[in-house]
């Protein structure tokens, strides 16, 4: 009887809770923030098109092709590496039972704590000619010089692929793991009953169903690869990021930098598209049932168990344990030289800058997420989307996109003041930490926004209505009732953004004021001067701080069977 009625009117849960119908300060503010977040990308493209074509022509004739091809090969190599490592380990820990599985389940996340440039520094020290590995080989075999034996060149494109793969595979691992966990047990059982063995079930049922999640993981890892500057610079692999910095700082051409940045945006758009499309498929393929049912497991024993343990232990050893040991040893050996007042200043800079950026990102995220809750609608949904695109834009590209408009603003302001007031404002935005803060917020807003939105969704809409009918305005309701209820989510958001900022290198390096150092830039400077020992303490600090969210994530994993969502938000 009711079916007719309910089919004519769609029942969709709550849209807006504002009470105010049309445009409000919340809405206007959110749109403005979204536009600000979009500004760097717009500025890059505008500036690249607007600038004279000489540099572009020069770039096309000389180095652009090698930048693009190096980037392409690096992305391909890292993509294959994270795919193989991430999927195989995820499948083993979810579908098989072997000794140590439960420990590996969370240990496999640990390499996420290490920035790519730090692992590159650690392995260079470990594997270079004067390092312990080659030294041991020479002692064992009695070799006298490098000409007597073959050892692969660490500081190469291949090296970059391997080391980036080692710290970026957890993106794939996390998403593939939850995709495998969410697959319907029934479907797997049907496949077995229909006579498919474990391998055929994996290749014809599990893997295709998890494909969207895996693609999301790979595209996130590739966004990080594209973002990397520290590793490729240290290994002298001229990718587009390295080229951008070289053209900008080395050749002094910001316009050329902008043009390379625009070319990079093509890669960015491809990766975002790949991620978005896969996320849509993911929603269809992964429909988690509320009922808990343990997955049927293949119990491994003997050599098979040994193989499984080896496959899971290798990435953890190579991606976390070895680099941390190497850095730890160096940090102890070089402690006297490293633990200086200057170091403490850099550490303070890092902490202060990252903490401010994290708090500001939280405020912006709260504002946008709450506006969206108040108003609903497509415009704000789009604004949220735009505001969270920064995670895909490489730091170097952001730096160009921020410096151009900030410098223009500073110059205009300075000129105006000189003319009318007779004072100089100097570089108000472009020459101060404001530029770095802005870059951090744009780049990591997605993380904060994701956390805040997820927490807010858990607060029932009737809570808003209750507060409003009890006489509170929208802003008062937010402060009195929402904030206490989403404390946990806000804390997580601040912490993750804080750590991401601590690790960030390219934007910090390009936008920092003269003589201003953070831990990341300090580590980079020493490494560039081949002083890996002096860089170790800073590197280790960054890794230890980076471990905090990873440990948190691990605890969530070991507590609950499922960890939904993705590491990027």
Partner 1 sequence: MAPMQSHQSDRSPVATRPLLEVRNISCNYELERAVFDLSLTVNRGEQVCLLGPSGCGKTTVLRAIAGFHPVLTGGIFINDQQVSAVDVMVPPEARRVGMVFQDHALFPHLSVQNNIASGLHQVSARDRKEAVADMLERMGLTRHAKRYPHELSGGQQQRVALARALAPRPLLLLMDEPFSNLDQELRERMGQEVSDMLKENDITCVMVTHDQNDAFALGDKVGVMEDGAIVQWDTPYNLYHRPQNHFVADFIGSGVFLEGALYSVNGVTTALGDLSSETALDWIVGSQVEVLIRPDDVIYDPQGPVKAQVIRRAFKGAEIMYTLRTSSQITLLALFPSHTNFEIGDEVSVRLEVDHLVVFPKGSIPE
Q: Please check whether residue 430 is in contact with residue 410, taking contact to mean a CB–CB distance below 8 angstroms.
A: yes
Report the SS3 class of residue 96.
strand
- Which span sits near partner 1 by CB under 8 A: 16-24, 27-35, 100-108, 226-234? 16-24
Q: Which is nearer to partner 1, 19 or 99 (CB)?
A: 19
Q: Smallest distance from the beta carbon of 448 to partner 1, in angstroms?
A: 22
Binding string, residues 427-466; x marks residues near partner 1 by CB under 8 A: ---------------------------------x-xx-xx
Q: Is 21 in the site for partner 1 (CB under 8 A)?
A: yes
Pick out residues in 240-259 that bind partner 1 (CB under 8 A).
none
- Per-residue DSSP letters for 251-297? S--HHHHHHHHHHHHHHHHHHHHHHHHHHHHHHHH----SS--PPP-
Residue with tokens 């302001």: 413
Distance between CA atoms of 192 and 41, rounded to whole angstroms? 50
Q: What is the largest CA-CA distance in the chain?
A: 91
Q: Which is nearer to partner 1, 13 or 195 (CB)?
A: 13
Among 73, 143, 472, 516, the residue binding partner 1 under the rule CB under 8 A is 472
Q: Which is nearer to partner 1, 7 or 139 (CB)?
A: 7
Q: Smallest distance from the beta carbon of 395 to partner 1, in angstroms?
A: 39
Report the SS3 class of residue 97.
strand
Q: Smallest distance from the beta carbon of 382 to partner 1, in angstroms?
A: 16
Q: Is 382 in the site for partner 1 (CB under 8 A)?
A: no
Among 144, 145, 471, 515, the residue binding partner 1 under the rule CB under 8 A is 471
Q: Which is nearer to partner 1, 5 or 423 (CB)?
A: 5
Report the SS3 class of residue 202.
helix
Q: Which is nearer to partner 1, 21 or 144 (CB)?
A: 21
Q: Is 381 in the site for partner 1 (CB under 8 A)?
A: no
Binding string, residues 132-151; x marks residues near partner 1 by CB under 8 A: --------------------
Q: Which is nearer to partner 1, 310 or 462 (CB)?
A: 462
Q: Is 16 in the site for partner 1 (CB under 8 A)?
A: yes
- Which span sits near partner 1 by CB under 8 A: 81-89, 136-144, 283-291, 470-478? 470-478
Q: Which is nearer to partner 1, 21 or 299 (CB)?
A: 21
- Which span sits near partner 1 by CB under 8 A: 10-18, 321-329, 408-416, 500-508? 10-18
Exposure of 30 by Cβ count < 10 A (0-12 exposed, 13-18 middle, 19+ buried)?
buried
Distance between CA atoms of 408 and 520, rounded to whole angstroms? 28
Inter-CA distances, 93 with 87, 186, 223, 252, 282, Å: 10, 19, 26, 50, 21
Among 176, 467, 523, 563, the residue binding partner 1 under the rule CB under 8 A is 467
Q: Smallest distance from the beta carbon of 481 to partner 1, in angstroms?
A: 6
Q: Is 20 in the site for partner 1 (CB under 8 A)?
A: yes
Q: Please check whether residue 241 is in contact with residue 232, taking contact to mean a CB–CB distance below 8 angstroms.
A: yes
Backbone angles phi, psi at 458, to 5 degrees: -80, -15
Distance between CA atoms of 297 and 183, rounded to whole angstroms? 13
- In sequence order, the 6+-apart residues with CB closer than 8 A to the CB of 54 are none
Q: Which is nearer to partner 1, 113 or 366 (CB)?
A: 366
Q: Smallest distance from the beta carbon of 529 to partner 1, in angstroms?
A: 53
Distance between CA atoms of 51 and 125, rounded to whole angstroms? 42
Q: Which is nearer to partner 1, 5 or 193 (CB)?
A: 5
Q: Is 19 in the site for partner 1 (CB under 8 A)?
A: yes
- Can you give the three-state secondary structure of 212-253, one letter per residue? HHHHHHHHHHHHHHHHCCHHHHHCCCCCHHHHHHHHHHHCCC
Distance between CA atoms of 285 and 525, rounded to whole angstroms? 46
Q: Smallest distance from the beta carbon of 230 to partner 1, in angstroms?
A: 44
Q: How many residues bind partner 1 (CB under 8 A)?
A: 33
Distance between CA atoms of 66 and 60, rounded to whole angstroms? 10
- Which span sits near partner 1 by CB under 8 A: 84-92, 97-105, 434-442, 469-477? 469-477
Helix, strand, coil in percent for the chain, rounding step 5: 75, 0, 20
Among 414, 481, 525, 548, the residue binding partner 1 under the rule CB under 8 A is 481
Among 4, 147, 291, 559, the residue binding partner 1 under the rule CB under 8 A is 4
Pick out residues in 485-524 that bind partner 1 (CB under 8 A).
485
Among 102, 293, 304, 473, the residue binding partner 1 under the rule CB under 8 A is 473
Q: Which is nearer to partner 1, 100 or 376 (CB)?
A: 376
How many other CB atoms are found less than 10 A from the CB of residue 65? 11
- Which span sits near partner 1 by CB under 8 A: 91-99, 158-166, 247-255, 468-476? 468-476
Q: Is 35 in the site for partner 1 (CB under 8 A)?
A: no
Q: Please check whether residue 507 is in contact with residue 395, taking contact to mean a CB–CB distance below 8 angstroms.
A: yes
- In sequence order, the 6+-apart residues with CB closer than 8 A to the CB of 413 are 425, 428
Of 542, 541, 522, give the one whose Cα is nearest residue 532: 522
Distance between CA atoms of 236 and 247, rounded to whole angstroms? 14
Q: Which is nearer to partner 1, 146 or 470 (CB)?
A: 470
In the complex, the residues that contact partner 1 under the rule CB under 8 A are 1-2, 4-6, 8-12, 15-21, 460, 462-463, 465-473, 480-481, 484-485
């Amino acid at each position: 009887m009711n079916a007719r009625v309910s089919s004519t009117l769609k029942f969709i849960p709550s849209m807006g809770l504002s009470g105010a119908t049309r445009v409000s300060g919340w809405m206007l503010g959110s749109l403005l923030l979204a536009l600000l977040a979009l500004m760097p990308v717009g500025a890059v493209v505008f500036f690249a098109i607007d600038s004279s074509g000489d540099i572009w022509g020069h770039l096309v004739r000389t180095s652009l092709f090698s930048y693009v091809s190096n980037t392409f090969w690096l992305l391909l190599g890292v993509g294959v590496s994270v795919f193989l490592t991430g999927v195989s380990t995820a499948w083993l820990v979810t579908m098989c039972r072997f000794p140590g599985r439960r420990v590996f389940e969370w240990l496999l996340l640990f390499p996420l704590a290490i920035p790519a440039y730090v692992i590159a520094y650690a392995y260079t020290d470990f594997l270079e000619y004067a390092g312990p590995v080659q030294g041991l080989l020479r002692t064992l075999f009695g070799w006298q010089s490098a000409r007597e034996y073959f050892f692969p060149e660490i500081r190469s494109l291949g090296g970059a692929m391997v080391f980036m793969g080692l710290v970026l595979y957890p993106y794939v691992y996390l998403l593939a793991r939850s995709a495998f966990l969410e697959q319907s047990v029934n479907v797997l059982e049907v496949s077995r009953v229909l006579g498919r063995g474990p391998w055929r079930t994996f290749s014809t049922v599990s893997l295709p169903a998890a494909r969207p999640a895996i693609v999301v993981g790979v595209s996130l890892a590739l966004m990080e690869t594209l973002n990397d500057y520290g590793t490729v610079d240290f290994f002298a692999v001229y990718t587009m990021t390295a080229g951008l910095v070289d053209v900008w700082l080395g050749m002094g051409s910001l316009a050329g930098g902008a043009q390379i940045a625009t070319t990079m945006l093509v890669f960015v758009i491809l990766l975002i598209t790949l991620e978005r499309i896969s996320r849509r498929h993911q929603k269809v393929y992964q429909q988690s049932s509320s009922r808990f049912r343990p997955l049927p497991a293949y119990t491994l024993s003997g050599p098979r168990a040994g193989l499984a343990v080896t496959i899971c232990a290798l990435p953890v050893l190579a991606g976390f344990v070895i680099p941390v040991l190497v850095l730890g040893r160096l940090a102890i050996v070089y402690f006297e030289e490293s633990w200086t007042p200057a170091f403490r200043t850099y550490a303070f800079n890092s902490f202060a800058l990252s903490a401010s950026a994290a708090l500001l990102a939280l405020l912006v995220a709260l504002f946008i997420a709450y506006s969206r809750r108040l108003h609903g609608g497509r415009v704000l949904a789009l604004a949220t989307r735009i505001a969270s695109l920064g995670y895909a834009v490489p730091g170097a590209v952001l730096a160009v996109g921020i410096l151009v408009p900030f410098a223009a603003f500073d110059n205009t302001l300075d000129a105006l003041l000189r003319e009318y007031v007779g004072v100089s404002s100097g570089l108000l935005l472009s020459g101060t930490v404001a530029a770095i803060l802005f870059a951090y917020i744009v780049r990591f807003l997605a993380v904060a926004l994701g956390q805040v939105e997820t927490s807010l969704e858990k607060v029932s809409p009737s809570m808003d209505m209750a507060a409003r009918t009890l006489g509170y305005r929208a802003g008062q309701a937010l402060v009195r009732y929402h904030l206490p209820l989403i404390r946990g989510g806000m804390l997580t958001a601040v912490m993750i953004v804080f750590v991401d900022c601590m690790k960030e290198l390219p934007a910090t390096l390009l936008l920092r004021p003269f003589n201003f150092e953070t831990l990341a830039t300090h580590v980079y400077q020493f490494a560039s001067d081949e002083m890996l020992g002096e860089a170790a303490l800073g590197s280790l600090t960054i890794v230890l701080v980076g471990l905090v969210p990873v440990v948190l994530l691990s605890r969530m994993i070991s507590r609950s069977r499922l960890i939904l969502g993705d590491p990027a938000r």
